[in-house]
């Protein structure tokens, strides 16, 4: 009997010695995608079993801020209450731009048209939203408020393409980490609808029928392989691959420098590898979210980032993850945030930031950073000259965040690799239809196999365009589609 | 009987109705990788059949400059005759840096230690090399000379990591396109050693045995499927995927803006898709070579590139493909090469270049390009000030190429998308061992399957690090390894 399994190698149905378990829909992973898939599949009348590698449900979503990126259809009730109309077309345009050159129009269209309804659905599942709007620039609300600006909506070039609206919707919980509340409710709902959850249960390999159809799964429970038959389909919701350094090196080497994994620990890429093993295409595997959380407080957004040439490289009011993508690409990832006295602060999420230089003049700062003479000072002078006029002709920073940096003392906060670790999670994954059907390299569906969440390549597929709430928005919305599609097969 | 085939879906051996052809080693594609694989497999005593989709052999290599990037071991005889010592360690360091953050050390090590011997092997197969060195900066020799500088060896940051040497070795042929001569000789050699070539023969799908081993190939010849049994192995040498726009969009969307395909026409990704269909991992699929051939003449290297902010962004003496990668990333891909009168010329490979601005002062040029006031003029002033001192503290351009741009009239040559099309080919492909064995998503070899050339992800796997000769150097060298390994199985 087979005792060693590899996610990359499916087990042939004829080699399955016996069936330990059988269900209509078998889901791997009980995070945001898996929970929403389970809810919809159970509602559609399917018998649902979920295998979760961890000792408890929630996945990486439960450790996150729990933001969901939704809007359109004139606005969610929260957006409208706060005075924001949000057309489907503006949401569509923003998401297309955020998806980058490889954006999937059909997927974006489906999401944009149904995102506001999806928010109501989340409420109906019991996820609590206070309904209040929190202005300003935040990574996630530290209050129990619902609605925040969570992307690059008001920042160039996004602001020029789509009318801005805040779209980050967060469950009610004071402090960071409202993903916990959201996941508790979604998991409870899935279980109450009859989904059977197995914890400490690691998926080892898919089972493939003679005709190529995925017919089940081998799972390790209590230290031994269990053979699970899936009558209607297997849905892979096993997360991304940021915790698998070897995969990161092969697929997204630019993320190797990010040492802080945004993961509950099981983003080992096994879901993606199981898909690849049965001939699925994995796409946009080089793309990842990254952040060096330089604000709040938002006063720091009024500073300017420079590289070792003393040059600016981004409008600093863009989404922090976008700014961080640019920081990572500077020579040697050497970058500093220049601030003057009125805006100086320590970033809340990284108060131990290294202050690389302090001085009474910008010449002092330039010398202390050992930059070429004139490099930094000319950049600051040019920035100040334009900021005084309320404009930024080079990088198009929004006037809200423009003020000249003229009040000593001055400082340079270090975002160099040795001083400021970068966080990351992966965006690439299995190619799927909006229904969750996993696609082979010629774009044909692999029968019986579905994927959602970061195991799939979804809405967020371009690091420069990521906005908070896109990953869970995508995982929950397309998890639902996969659950429905698999149940109805 | 099956009449429709998809590269992404292998045929199961039990569904093969009959065997039309049988050989020890079956090779898909008769370009550089396929020809070298055929030579070595035949020499090792294997019966070899090659299927080529085109009407003739040669692949994309036959349309290329035919440069092979070799050196090390103290230097090839051509390098040594020209006065260049070239240590294995310097070649190793350069190639590791050129491979970028995902460089494959084992592969680079094997290549660096054997590259000089590989050059002798190419000579032994009958490829003619004149043995002469052509100084200066060229895309490829327009003369019949052998040795040119074909990468970023003397340019920062490569020059700081490894002692520079010219390593582009080109077959003897006056004018461009010496790849034709090289491929004629390699193909002749393969055929003379007994390899049987079938032209107009398109591989449709792999055949997989019950145990997962690749056992053959379905090929369309004379309009009908032929079933081919491979006793020892199938070697995929079917090129990259630049000619398949859908694949480019899914895997390397940044290359979508490159409208000139560097391909003989059959780089449709079918080899990669056949690999994916049997569970192979495809890696670094986002990476591609690109060029906007801005020189020769080399006087243009003394110009400076600026973007729409009036900022420089690269040392212009780097390999033209590296400079082009940076051009592609500027906002809107808007970039201009600034030149003064003594260095002005039209690029030989694109004489119809659009001259976007001409003027008696740099202020004229700035105004004509409609750049922010002071943006271009301050950049030129700063560059000139340092160039006069023979240094470039911001971008580290080598002093050889530094002179102030002070002699009117001045001009700006446009490298904007509407004016200057970019060329590209893809670098991502199937994960392989240095032996050519194709790997699954867990890094285990798929029995019976090999890949080389652009169907595999080889030495060149980072667009920023590419140098001319790396693709054919890799294809020919690792094609040989695959041929030997498959024959010896």
> Nearest C-alpha of chain A: how many angstroms from B472?
22
CB contact under 8 A, A279 and B284: no
| CATH superfamily membership of A1-291+424-489 | FAD/NAD(P)-binding domain (3.50.50.60)
Closest Cβ opposite residue A276 in set B287, B382, B441: B441
Asked whether residue A250 carries a pLDDT value surpassing 80, the answer given is yes
CA angle B147, B479, B322 (to 5 degrees): 50
Residue of B nearest to A269 (CA): B441
Stronger pLDDT, B489 or A49, i.e. the higher one: A49
Q: Which of B250, B382, B431 faces A102 most closely, judged by CB atoms?
A: B250
**ipTM reported for the complex, 2 dp:** 0.94
- The kind and range of the H/E element at B255 are none
Q: Is the pLDDT of residue B489 over 80?
A: no
The residues spanned by each domain of chain A are: 1-291+424-489, 293-414
Look at the block and give the residue holding tokens 């001569």: B181
Asked if the domains B1-290+423-489 and B293-414 are classified in one and the same CATH topology, the answer is: no
Is A250–B394 a contact, with Cβ atoms under 8 angstroms apart? no
Q: What is the DSSP string of B476-487?
A: HHHHHHHHHHHH
Is the pLDDT confidence value at A416 over 80? yes
Q: Stretch A119-141: mean pLDDT, rounded?
A: 96
Buried b or exposed e, range A160-174, using 16+ CB within 10 angstroms: eebebbbbbbbbbbe
Taking contacts as CB-CB distances below 8 angstroms, the residues of chain A near B12 are 210
Residues 6+ apart with CB under 8 A from B475: B31, B32, B33, B36, B61, B237, B452, B453, B454, B458
Q: How confident is the model at residue A254 (pLDDT cuts 50, 70, 90)?
A: very high
Nearest-CA distance from A140 to chain B in Å? Answer: 29
B242 neighbors B261 (Cβ within 8 angstroms): yes
Whether the Cβ atoms of residue B17 and residue B220 lie closer than 8 Å to each other: no
pLDDT per residue over A198-244, tens digit each?
Answer: 999 999 999 999 889 999 999 999 999 999 999 999 999 999 999 99
Q: Which of A122, A116, A137, A120 is nearest to A35 (CA)?
A: A122
- B458-468 pLDDT, tens digit per residue, is 999 999 999 99
- Cβ pair A256:B101 closer than 8 A: yes
Q: Which residue of B has its CA nearest to A268?
A: B442
Q: Which residues in chain A touch residue B393, judged by CB atoms under 8 angstroms apart? A: 372, 375
Q: A419-475, pLDDT tens digit by residue?
A: 999 999 999 999 999 999 999 999 999 999 999 999 999 999 999 999 999 999 999
CATH of domain B293-414: 3.90.700.10
Asked if B154 and B166 touch (Cβ cutoff 8 Å), the reply is no
Closest-CA residue of chain B to A314: B331
Q: Kindly list the residues from chain A whose CB atom is less than 8 angstroms away from the CB atom of residue B206.
A: none
Give the tens place of pLDDT for each residue, B238-282.
Answer: 999 999 999 999 999 999 999 999 999 999 999 999 999 999 999
Are B55 and B34 in contact, with CB atoms under 8 Å apart? no
Judged by CB atoms closer than 8 Å, whether chains meet at A249 and B102 is answered as: yes
**CA atoms of B110 and B480, how far apart (whole Å):** 13
Mean pLDDT of chain A: 97
Peptide bond into B157 cis (omega under 30): yes
The CATH fold of domain B1-290+423-489: FAD/NAD(P)-binding domain (3.50.50)
Q: What are B118-167's pLDDT values in tens digits?
A: 999 999 999 999 999 999 999 888 899 999 999 999 999 999 999 999 99
Whole-number pLDDT of residue A182: 98
CB contact set of A219 (below 8 Å; sequence gap of 6+): A21, A51, A198, A201, A202, A203, A204, A225, A226, A228
Alpha helices, H only, B21-175: 32-43, 77-81, 88-98, 105-124, 158-161
Dihedral sign for Cα atoms in the order B257, B263, B265, B266: negative
**DSSP 8-state class, residue A421:** P
- Tell me phi and psi for residue A241, to 5 degrees: -135, 25
Cβ neighbors of A68 (< 8 A, separation 6 or more) are A118, A119, A122, A168, A169, A170, A182, A469, A472, A473, A476
Query: Using the beta-carbon criterion (under 8 Å), do B278 and A279 form an inter-chain contact?
Result: yes
In the sheet that B147-149 helps form, which strands lie side by side, from edge to edge? B68-69, B168-169, B147-149, B133-137
What per-residue confidence (pLDDT) applies to A1? Answer: 67
pLDDT given for residue B1 in this prediction: 67
Query: What six digits make up the tokens of B73?
Result: 């071991």
Within 8 A by CB and 6+ apart from B182, the residues are B32, B61, B62, B66, B68, B122, B127, B171, B472
Burial tier of B359 (Cβ tally within 10 Å: 0-12, 13-18, 19+) = middle
Picking from A101, A393, A442, the nearest residue to B6 by CB comes out as A442
Which DSSP symbol is given to B446?
Answer: E
Q: Determine whether the interchain pair B8/A276 forms a contact, defined as Cβ–Cβ distance below 8 Å.
A: no
The pLDDT tens digits of the residues spanning B400-443 come to 999 999 999 999 999 999 999 999 999 999 999 999 999 999 99
CB–CB contact A100 B278 (8 Å): no
User: What is the percent of chain B where pLDDT is above 90?
Assistant: 97
In this complex, do B285 and A285 lie within 8 Å of one another by their Cβ atoms?
Answer: yes
Residue contact B101–A249, C-beta within 8 A: yes
DSSP secondary structure letter of residue A432: B
Round to whole Å and give the CA distance between A208 and B278: 13
The CA radius of gyration of chain A, in Å to the nearest whole number, is 23
Residue B8 per-residue DSSP state: T
The two structure tokens encoding residue B136: 């200066």
pLDDT for B96 equals: 98
List, in order, residues 6 or more apart from B392 with CB less than 8 Å away: B315, B383, B386, B402
């Amino acid at each position: 009997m087979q005792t060693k399994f590899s996610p990359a190698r499916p087990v042939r149905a004829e080699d399955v010695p016996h069936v330990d378990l059988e269900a209509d829909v078998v889901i791997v992973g009980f995070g945001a995608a898996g929970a929403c898939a389970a809810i919809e599949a159970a509602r559609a009348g399917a018998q649902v079993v979920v295998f979760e590698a961890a000792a408890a449900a929630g996945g990486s979503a439960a450790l996150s801020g729990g933001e969901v990126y939704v809007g359109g259809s004139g606005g969610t009730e929260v957006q409208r209450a706060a005075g924001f109309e949000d057309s489907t077309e503006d949401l569509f345009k923003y998401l297309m731009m955020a998806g980058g050159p490889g954006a999937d129009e059909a997927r974006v269209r489906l999401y944009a048209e149904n995102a506001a309804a999806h928010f109501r659905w989340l409420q109906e599942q019991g996820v609590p939203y206070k309904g209040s709007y929190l202005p300003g620039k935040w990574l996630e609300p530290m209050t129990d408020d619902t609605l925040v600006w969570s992307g690059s909506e008001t920042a160039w070039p996004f602001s020029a393409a789509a009318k801005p609206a805040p779209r980050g919707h967060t469950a009610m919980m004071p402090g960071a980490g409202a993903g916990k509340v959201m996941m508790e409710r979604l998991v409870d709902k899935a279980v109450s609808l009859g989904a059977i959850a197995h914890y400490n249960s690691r998926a080892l390999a898919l089972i493939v029928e003679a005709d190529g159809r995925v017919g089940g799964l081998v799972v390790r429970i209590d230290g031994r392989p269990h053979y699970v038959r899936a009558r209607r389909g297997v849905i892979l919701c096993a997360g991304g691959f940021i915790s698998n350094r070897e995969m990161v090196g092969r697929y997204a080497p630019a993320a190797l420098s990010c040492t802080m994994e945004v993961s509950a620990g099981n983003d080992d890429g096994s879901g993606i590898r199981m898909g690849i093993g049965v001939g699925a295409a994995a796409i946009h595997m080089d793309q990842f979210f990254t952040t060096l959380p330089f604000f709040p407080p938002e006063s720091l957004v009024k500073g300017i980032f420079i590289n070792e040439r003393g040059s600016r490289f981004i409008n600093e009011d863009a989404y922090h993850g976008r700014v961080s993508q640019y920081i990572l690409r500077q020579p040697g990832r050497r970058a500093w945030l220049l601030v003057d006295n009125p805006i100086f602060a320590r970033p809340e999420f990284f108060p131990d930031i290294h202050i690389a230089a302090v001085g009474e003049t910008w010449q002092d700062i330039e010398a202390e950073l050992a930059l070429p003479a004139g490099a930094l000072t000319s950049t600051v002078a040019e920035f100040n000259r334009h900021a005084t006029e309320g404009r930024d002709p080079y990088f198009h920073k929004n006037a809200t965040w423009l003020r000249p940096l003229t009040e000593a003392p001055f400082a340079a906060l270090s975002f160099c690799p040795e001083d400021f670790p970068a966080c990351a999670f992966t965006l690439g994954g299995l190619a799927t239809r909006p229904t969750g059907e996993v696609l082979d390299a010629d774009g044909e569906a692999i029968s019986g196999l579905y994927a959602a969440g970061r195991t799939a390549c979804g809405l967020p597929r371009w690091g420069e365009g990521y906005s908070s709430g896109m990953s869970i928005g995508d995982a929950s919305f397309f998890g639902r589609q996969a659950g429905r599609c698999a149940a109805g097969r």
